[in-house]
Amino acid sequence: MNPDDYFFKLNSTCTVEAELLEYCANVEDWAAGLTWESFLQKSVPDSIIKKDKFLTTMKDMGWRISILKLIPMSWYKFHIDTHGNRPTAINCLLGSPRSLSVFKGKEVRRLQEQILDLNYERNAFYLFNGLEQHAVFNFESDRFLLTITPPDSYMAKQYDPSKGSYKDAAGNFTLKSFGEFDTMLAEQKTIYFKFREEFITLQL
Ligand SMILES: [Fe+2]
């Protein structure tokens, strides 16, 4: 497994970790403003965004900035980020909770599969390939992840974020067949690699 195909560390660093953690400690309604129903999520206020150069740049480019909360002694099961249809995201782990972020590769034995972990460096931003199977294990403390989502224009054309579902050829909202879904995913998977090149060029 080539790490660069799963995550990619950007040049920019987060300068507002303390402010974000303080904000997290005071949020009471984590479910409010929910975009992805399976996650506890909260938008980051503009007052914090404007103190950080990279976050301000991303917001100006139309990206959405949120925090995901994972409670102690729990995990996000292996999944791909189709809910909310995030073809890629930029992530920064806040603080240093004892947790593991793992991508899954090929099966090598009947009960053995390749894995790769993203060992988040403090204050570092990573472009994250959410369309590869991944899981997160969290242990003793709350885990807060700063996550930045691309504008809706990067989502699959068939996807309507307001409905949380896909349109068929006749314009009806429907769950897609597995075949169509795979084709859509293959298209969406190229977005991570496009962004990787773009961020190298922009030196962000
Ligand atoms: Fe995910």
Q: 76 C-alpha to center of ligand 1: Å?
A: 8
- Provide the pLDDT for residue 157: 65
Question: Taking every pair of C-alpha atoms in the chain, what is the biggest distance, in angstroms?
Answer: 51
Q: 79 C-alpha to center of ligand 1: Å?
A: 6
Q: 9 C-alpha to center of ligand 1: Å?
A: 17
The pTM of this model reads 0.88
% of residues, the chain, pLDDT over 90: 65
Q: What is the mean pLDDT of residues 52-79?
A: 95
Length of the chain: 204
Q: 83 C-alpha to center of ligand 1: Å?
A: 9
**Could you give the CA distance from residue 40 to residue 188 in angstroms, rounded to a whole number?**
25
- Residue list, CB under 5 A from ion ligand 1: 81
Of 88, 87, 60, 59, which is closest to residue 157 (Cα–Cα)?
Answer: 87
User: Of 96 and 165, which is predicted with more confidence?
Assistant: 96
* CATH (domain of 77): 2.60.120.10
Q: 130 C-alpha to center of ligand 1: Å?
A: 6
**Could you give the CA distance from residue 167 to residue 35 in angstroms, rounded to a whole number?**
19
Query: Where residue 29 falls among pLDDT bands split at 50, 70, 90?
Result: confident
Q: 144 C-alpha to center of ligand 1: Å?
A: 13
Q: 134 C-alpha to center of ligand 1: Å?
A: 6
**Could you give the CA distance from residue 6 to residue 36 in angstroms, rounded to a whole number?**
21
**Could you give the CA distance from residue 42 to residue 68 in angstroms, rounded to a whole number?**
7
Q: What is the mean pLDDT of residues 61-70?
A: 94
**Could you give the CA distance from residue 119 to residue 105 in angstroms, rounded to a whole number?**
17
DSSP annotation of 39 reads S
State the total domains in the chain: 1
- Angle subtended at Cα 50 by Cα 86 and Cα 122, rounded to the nearest 5 degrees: 65
Range of the domain at 55: 3-202
